[in-house]
Amino acid sequence: MSGQFDYLVTGGAGFIGSHLCERLIAEGKSVFVLDDLSTGQIENIEGLLSLKSFHFIEGSVLSLETVEECINMCDEVIHLAAAVGVENVINKPVETIETNVGGTENILRAARLNNTKVLIASTSEVYGKSWKVPFKEDGDIVLGPTSRNRWSYACSKAMDEFLALAYNHSYGLPVVICRFFNTVGPRQSGRYGMVLPRFINQALTGQPITVFGNGTQTRCFSLVSEVINCILSLMNTPDAIGKVINIGSTEEITILELARRVREISGSCSEIVIVPYDEAYPAGFEDMQRRVPDVSRLVELIDICPEADIDTIIRKIIEYGIPEGAQ
């Protein structure tokens, strides 16, 4: 079945989604976006709204009727809509679980009707507190107790993966699951707790650069344009169907060193301040000490992976400027 649009992008007004839409349009594809604008912003896709090859509808993936109508008009689906950011997850645990699990279930149910190919965006959070670094897709996951809603996001995204793989196994639905590792770049807001845009916002506005925890925890940051390269290549790779695939850089950096790099590259005089977790988050907050992907499966499938170094990424974000209302 051929739809009116090449792609449905849920969450297409968000950070990753809007960059993805721009890329698809630039490549001559037609794009339909479903976004409830709870965290996405219409400004992110403002330049696309007048194009005949682009259509936006404000709506929720929690409405099965809406999702079915959208998918019926599209050949393939890239499902990015989800709860965003640690702060949102901690403060809105019910919405986190309902959006992630209920929304993904609706996408899969609707896609099954026409056997529509779906890419599900998952997250490195799924690995939880595992110490088996680098993280391999078939490795064990280690989550904290259910009494700490910090882990509700990881658990809900793991449930998304179970659902997608079950639809693939039981119904033959073509699904691809991507676990993103700290995707960053121009246009990303720091308002939901994303560490790099928050550091850059603080540095450029002369505020203290606040490092939560002791700063020794490490992360790997991936430039959004390179992540999109991987997404689109995987969508066009038959061997990726039915698989979970890490997408991320393997350059590991401590959060304290990240703050120092941001301050140096931005030329800021901001003070770097250590803020203990119990002052930054509600009692009982837990974090992962290291989060590094094994990208051998990604490279085996498409022969590319995110490679931009952290200094290059920081410069690109600074050159773009602080998004309005980003603080």
pLDDT, tens digit only, all 327 positions of the chain: 467 999 999 999 999 999 999 999 999 999 999 999 998 999 999 999 999 999 999 999 999 999 999 999 999 999 999 987 667 777 788 888 999 999 999 999 999 999 999 999 999 999 999 999 999 999 999 999 988 888 888 999 999 999 999 999 999 999 999 999 999 999 998 776 689 999 999 999 999 999 999 999 999 999 999 999 999 999 999 999 999 999 999 999 999 999 999 999 999 999 999 999 888 877 767 888 999 999 999 999 999 999 999 999 999 999 987 655 444
Beta pairing partners, 58: 35
Give the pLDDT of residue 148.
83
Q: What is the dihedral of CA 151, 128, 220, 203, to 10 degrees?
A: 30
Confidence at residue 282, expressed as pLDDT on a 0 to 100 scale: 73
Q: Which domains does the chain have, with CATH numbers?
A: 5-183+223-247 (3.40.50.720), 184-219+251-291+307-320 (3.90.25.10)
Task: Answer yes or no: are the C-beta atoms of 126 and 158 closer than 8 Å.
Answer: yes
Retrieve residue 251's tokens. 């350059």
Angstrom distance (rounded) from CA 284 to CA 147: 9
Angle among Cα 242, 295, 298 to the nearest 5 degrees reads 40
Contact (CB, 8 A) for 35 and 10:
yes
Q: How large is the C-alpha radius of gyration of the chain?
A: 19
Supply the residues annotated as catalytic.
153
Is 274 within 8 Å of 211 (Cβ atoms)?
yes
pLDDT of residue 325: 46
With beta carbons less than 8 A apart as the criterion, state whether 169 and 241 touch: no
How many C-beta neighbours within 10 Å does residue 99 have?
23
Question: How confident is the model at residue 326, as a pLDDT?
Answer: 46
What's the pLDDT score for residue 327? 43
